[in-house]
């Protein structure tokens, strides 16, 4: 079994939202095999606590606008690791230090990676 079409649509919306607020190193993992309660984990890195909160807020706002409601959110007050659970999609927005420390990519290394398509950005001179 693989991620549902609904989960893929949520992923696209969340990835664009994260990108719009400067989210970095986006990785989407298909967790349908080991987890019966979610299809996709989206991992995003923010540069600092303020950026982490802004990224999570934008993702939440855009998914709510698209008709999804969060089942759970955790970590917003600290701004180091914010978890947004939208059922089929669970988003982890990390401060870069927490991302390296917890290394969820290694923990879920057996799960297939789902390509995340983002618009190309021009490099600033």
Residue 34 in any domain: the answer is: yes
Is 121 domain-assigned? no
Tell me how long the chain is.
125
CATH of the domain at 106: 3.30.460.10
Choose among 73, 92, 102: nearest CA to 27: 92
Residue 54 lies in a domain: yes
In angstroms, rounded to a whole number, what is the distance separating the alpha carbons of residues 107 and 105?
5
Domain count for the chain, please give it.
1
Contact assessment for residue 42 and residue 71, using Cβ atoms and an 8 Å cutoff = no
pLDDT, tens only, 24-34: 999 999 999 88
Decide if 125 is inside a domain. Answer: no
Q: Give domain status of residue 124, yes or no.
A: no
For residue range 50-109, what is the model confidence (pLDDT) as tens digits? 999 999 999 999 999 999 999 999 998 888 999 999 999 999 999 999 999 999 999 999
What stretch of H or E contains 15?
helix 5-20
Task: Please state whether 17 falls in left (phi above 0), alpha (psi between -120 and 50) or beta.
Answer: alpha
Residues 6 or more apart from 24 whose CB is under 8 A from it? 44, 45, 46, 47, 96
| pLDDT confidence band for 125 (50 / 70 / 90) | very low
Coil vs helix vs strand at 6? helix
Domain region containing 42: 5-114
């Amino acid at each position: 079994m693989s991620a549902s079409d609904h989960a893929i649509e949520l992923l696209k919306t969340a990835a664009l939202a994260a990108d719009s607020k400067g989210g970095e190193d986006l990785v989407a993992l298909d967790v349908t095999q080991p987890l019966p309660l979610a299809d996709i984990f989206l991992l995003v890195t923010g540069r600092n606590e303020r950026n982490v909160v802004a990224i999570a807020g934008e993702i939440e706002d855009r998914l709510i606008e698209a008709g999804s409601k969060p089942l759970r959110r955790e970590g917003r007050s600290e701004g180091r690791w914010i978890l947004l659970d939208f059922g089929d999609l669970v988003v982890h927005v990390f401060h870069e230090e927490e991302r390296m420390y917890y290394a969820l990519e290694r923990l879920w290394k057996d799960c297939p990676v789902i390509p995340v398509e983002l618009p190309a950005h021009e490099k600033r001179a």
